[in-house]
């Protein structure tokens, strides 16, 4: 299957981009003071890319390993592999800034080619950034430090390693290569009657290797688990040799080194094979909505389901602000500003409250039984059923939010996200602390924001919080957001949350991650890094705290 590239200056498929309707633009202007930017985004041909710093001998050596056509140093390819897709990443690339573009893009086709490239890079002191779908929003594709930017580095694009290697139908596992994009993986598995059940918002563009390297969590995690729950075996290439991990689903043979690789973000090696648990494609899927009077009441109801069951596959709750905004989203406004029907998505919420969306998967009988059991729990917890409309509306647009962010940037608004997780008992305090930090920092800078939040992943002992922030951009939008993000990160750490539930660490969260794991934990991580990567070439500056 041919691997597509995302829009170089935004998210996803350029053909799906759509401008905001004028009534929404007017609302942003009146509510948040949003004004169009003074300059339009540059054209791809005008992006400033430095001359490649790789020697001719280095390029020749890479070509000897992977073939001439699989070593690319042209401007467009380098731009498309520059940084990730956070809002600051997009603002920089739209302004034509690509000073930290890779010096070349190398596309290996086998595990052995990956190993050979890594050994050549260690000898040549060239840093390596593994590249899957390019969807990182935490600086995971922007190396820093002595061996990285502003030094020489390559993007190791794994798209040629895109096979479904095998399926074990007895054990219900599948071996997948790391460059396989999620939709292609689902299509290949579906041909045999199986699914991963892993659908994060980045699903349409992210890769299997990226899911493992960042501990991705999908929208149906309540039913299928996070991606790290699905992984039973891994093969990892390092400059010092290979790691083949996972001989059984669980083991008492010492610490589980699979857990060391999962979430390692390319800093400890390049994942070249992933063995995952698979499930039969569900006979039916059903979605529905429920209303709760408050975020606290809804969170208590979700906790009851997470702890005592029955648990749906999808279980999420929007706070009052996100619920309100969802009732007036751009897709519900026609070209002349008239309101379009929401197919039941707004009935019952006109007077406020919070929307919970639930999804059920399985056989028709099992879905019906579970829906009835869940309904009993939610009614007892104060929930009001809204029917299928809100859930089906969410399901139709579940991958669209990044396109909306691009449209917001086009009109001069700033949109970004912050996510964390904690234990149920600490959830209200963490929610308030992060919301107040974002609101205070941006208001103090003269750009009062709209701060929304939802719970999208639940566990018996706790849950995630996912904040979305919209404001005017300010004079220097990148630094403007950096101050607000620092305030949010400080609030997360001080309130006892984790610095990331599923976006990862990258360079953006590294310093707060160091505080989370403590000095000894950071030293242990550096010791592992030094053993598998003594030359320091693997995604330097990402994840591993400096001394």
Q: How far is CA 485 from the centre of its chain?
A: 17
pTM: 0.94
Token pair of 418 as six digits: 């912050």
Q: What is the pLDDT of residue 145?
A: 65
Mean pLDDT across the chain: 93
Find residue 396's DSSP bridge partners: none
Asked if 351 and 282 touch (Cβ cutoff 8 Å), the reply is no
Find residue 104's DSSP bridge partners: 154
pLDDT tens track for 75-113: 999 999 999 999 999 999 999 999 999 999 999 999 999
Q: What is the pLDDT of residue 348?
A: 75
d(CA 487, CA 154): 33
Find residue 106's DSSP bridge partners: 71, 156
Q: What is the pLDDT of residue 116?
A: 98
d(CA 250, CA 15): 45
Asked if 282 and 232 touch (Cβ cutoff 8 Å), the reply is no
Q: What is the pLDDT of residue 328?
A: 62
Q: What is the pLDDT of residue 347?
A: 57
Query: What domains are defined for the chain?
Result: 164-280 (3.30.465.10), 284-398 (3.30.70.3450)
Q: What is the pLDDT of residue 37?
A: 76
Parallel/antiparallel/unpaired status of strands 104-106 and 153-157: parallel
* Low pLDDT (below 50) residues in the chain: 1, 147-150, 330-345
pLDDT tens track for 317-354: 999 999 999 876 544 433 333 333 344 445 578 789 99
Q: What is the pLDDT of residue 14?
A: 87
- Count CB-CB contacts under 10 A for residue 483: 15
H/E element holding 483?
A: helix 477-494
Of 405, 391, 414, 382, nearest to 287 (Cα)? 391
Q: What is the pLDDT of residue 442?
A: 97
> In Å, how far are 65, 117, 359 from 155, measured between CA atoms?
15, 11, 38
């Amino acid at each position: 299957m041919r691997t597509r590239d995302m829009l170089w200056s935004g998210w996803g498929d350029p053909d799906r981009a759509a401008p905001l309707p004028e009534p929404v633009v007017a609302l942003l202007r009146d509510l948040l003071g949003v004004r169009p930017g003074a300059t339009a985004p540059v054209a791809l041909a005008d992006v400033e890319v430095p001359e490649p710093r790789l020697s001719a001998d280095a390029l020749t050596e890479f070509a000897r390993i992977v073939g001439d056509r699989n070593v690319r140093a042209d401007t467009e390819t380098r731009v498309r592999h520059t940084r990730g897709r956070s809002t600051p990443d997009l603002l920089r690339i739209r302004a034509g800034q690509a000073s930290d573009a890779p010096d070349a893009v190398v596309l290996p086709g086998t595990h052995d080619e990956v190993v050979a490239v890594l050994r050549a890079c260690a000898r040549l002191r060239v840093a390596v950034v593994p590249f899957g779908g390019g969807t990182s929003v935490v600086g995971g594709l922007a190396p820093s430090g002595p061996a990285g930017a502003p030094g020489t580095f390559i993007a190791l694009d794994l798209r040629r390693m895109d096979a479904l290697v095998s399926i074990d139908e007895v054990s219900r596992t599948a071996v997948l290569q790391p460059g396989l994009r999620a939709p292609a993986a689902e299509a290949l598995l579906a041909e045999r009657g199986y699914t991963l059940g892993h659908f994060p918002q980045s699903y349409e563009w992210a890769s299997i290797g990226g899911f493992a390297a960042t501990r991705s969590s999908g929208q149906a995690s309540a039913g299928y688990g996070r991606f790290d729950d699905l992984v039973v075996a891994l093969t990892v290439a390092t400059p010092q040799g290979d790691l083949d991990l996972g001989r059984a689903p669980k083991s008492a043979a010492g610490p589980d080194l699979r857990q060391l690789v999962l979430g390692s973000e390319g800093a400890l090696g390049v994942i070249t094979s992933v063995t995952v648990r698979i499930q039969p494609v569900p006979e039916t899927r059903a979605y529905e909505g429920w209303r709760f009077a408050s975020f606290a009441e809804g969170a208590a109801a979700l906790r009851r389901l997470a702890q005592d069951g029955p648990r749906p596959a999808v279980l999420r709750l929007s706070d009052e602000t996100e619920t309100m905004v969802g009732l007036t989203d751009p897709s519900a406004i026609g070209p002349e500003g008239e309101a379009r029907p929401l197919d039941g998505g707004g009935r019952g919420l006109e007077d406020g409250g919070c929307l919970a969306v639930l999804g059920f998967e399985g056989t028709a009988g099992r879905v019906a039984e579970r829906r009835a059991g869940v309904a009993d729990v939610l009614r007892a917890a104060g929930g009001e059923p809204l029917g299928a409309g809100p859930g089906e509306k969410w399901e139709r647009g579940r991958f669209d939010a990044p396109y909306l962010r691009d449209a917001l940037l086009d009109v001069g608004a700033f949109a970004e996200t912050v996510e964390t997780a904690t234990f149920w008992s600490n959830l209200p305090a963490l929610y308030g602390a992060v919301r107040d930090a974002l609101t205070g920092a941006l208001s103090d800078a003269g750009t009062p924001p709209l701060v929304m939040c939802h719970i999208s992943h639940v566990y018996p002992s706790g849950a995630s919080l996912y904040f979305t922030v919209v404001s005017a951009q300010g004079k220097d939008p990148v630094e403007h957001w950096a101050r607000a993000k620092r305030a949010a990160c400080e609030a997360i750490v001080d309130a006892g949350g984790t610095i990331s539930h599923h976006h990862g660490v990258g360079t953006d969260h590294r310093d707060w991650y160091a505080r989370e794991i403590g000095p000894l934990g950071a030293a242990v991580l550096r010791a592992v890094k030094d053993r598998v990567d003594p030359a320091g070439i693997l995604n330097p500056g990402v994840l591993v705290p400096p001394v």
